[in-house]
């Protein structure tokens, strides 16, 4: 199976450094896919929450605001992407902060192509390792293991219609059953993240295979089961837009 390039967003508030980095990243199109580039704190926050990238090239200073604040806002909302910090300052304080935030690398501007290649290779190895770990979580029956209050439950991912948050736990809805598991929705998004499951809002994680109708007027999503029955859930206005865009982007 051909490996998908790593979904990437570039966050740089200065035009020339941003264009320079984007140009250099063209040499790595087999490894990464730049889905957006942002020139401000607010545009970066919105884009990252929408696209859920696995890699960020992140300028430490964004129009007077600190990238660390951006990271704090993202932590509780999405699985954190791998981060490569970019900065014009060769400052020990920034380096220490980057290390504490478990950044993959720290590149000084103007960015050297050789150092850029090494940083991207680090991310590629980490993503491959993460993907192998996800595969290992599926047992020989093709089912994934989830913790419950009384033990464990094994569920085939293709049987999951959607998952919704219930406090600190989550409820998995299949065609025949519902089961509460002892993982947060954010944790399950990390586990199941990929092209099959979409998280349009804080409440729901949706299997695109079962999406049948999206009503933008009343902000609902209807799932169609293999038996022909329908299940309807309500989404936020923003969540409806995100789900619609995600579904449309998957259509050739």
Indicate which CATH number applies to the domain containing 44. 3.40.50.2300
Q: Tell me the pLDDT tens digit for each residue of 29-78.
A: 999 999 999 999 999 999 998 888 999 999 887 876 778 888 888 887 78
pLDDT at residue 1, rounded to an integer:
44
Residues 17 and 122 in one domain: yes
Which of these three, 136, 152, 172, is where a domain ends?
136
Instruction: Give the domain range for residue 235.
Output: 143-249
- Domain check: are 15 and 132 in the same one? yes
Would you mind telling me the total number of residues written for the chain in this entry? 252
User: Both 96 and 122 in a single domain?
Assistant: yes
Residues 184 and 147 in one domain: yes
**Per-residue pLDDT tens digits for 211-252:** 999 999 999 999 998 888 899 999 999 899 989 988 887 655
Alpha carbons 139 and 224: distance in angstroms, whole number: 27
Do residues 189 and 243 both lie within one domain? yes
Together in a domain, 90 and 187: no
Last residue of a domain, one of 88, 119, 136: 136
Q: Which residues of 3-39 are buried (b: 16+ CB within 10 A; e: fewer)?
A: eebbbbbbbbbeeebbeebeeebeebeebbbbbbbbb
What pLDDT shows up at residue 178? 93
CATH number of the CATH domain containing 159 = 2.40.50.1020
């Amino acid at each position: 199976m051909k490996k998908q390039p790593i979904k990437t967003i570039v966050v740089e508030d200065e035009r020339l450094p941003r264009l320079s980095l984007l140009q250099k990243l063209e040499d790595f199109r087999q490894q990464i896919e730049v889905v957006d580039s942002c020139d401000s704190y607010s545009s970066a926050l919105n884009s990252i929450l929408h696209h859920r990238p696995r890699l960020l090239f992140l300028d430490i200073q964004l129009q007077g605001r600190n990238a660390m604040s951006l990271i704090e806002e993202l932590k509780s909302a999405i699985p954190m992407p791998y981060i490569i910090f970019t900065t014009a300052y060769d400052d020990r304080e920034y380096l220490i902060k980057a290390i504490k935030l478990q950044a993959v690398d720290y590149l000084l501007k103007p960015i050297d192509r050789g150092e850029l290649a090494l940083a991207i290779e680090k991310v590629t190895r980490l993503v491959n390792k993460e993907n192998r770990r996800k595969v290992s979580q599926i047992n020989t029956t093709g089912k994934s293991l989830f913790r419950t209050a009384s033990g464990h439950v094994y569920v085939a991912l293709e049987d999951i219609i959607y998952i919704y948050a219930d406090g600190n736990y989550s409820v998995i809805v299949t065609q025949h059953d519902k089961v509460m598991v002892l993982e947060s929705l954010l944790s399950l998004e990390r586990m199941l993240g990929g092209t099959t499951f979409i998280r349009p809002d804080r409440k729901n994680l949706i299997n695109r295979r079962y999406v049948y109708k999206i009503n933008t007027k009343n902000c609902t999503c209807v799932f169609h089961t293999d038996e022909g029955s329908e299940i309807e859930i309500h989404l936020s206005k923003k969540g409806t837009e995100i789900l619609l865009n995600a579904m449309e982007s998957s259509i050739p």
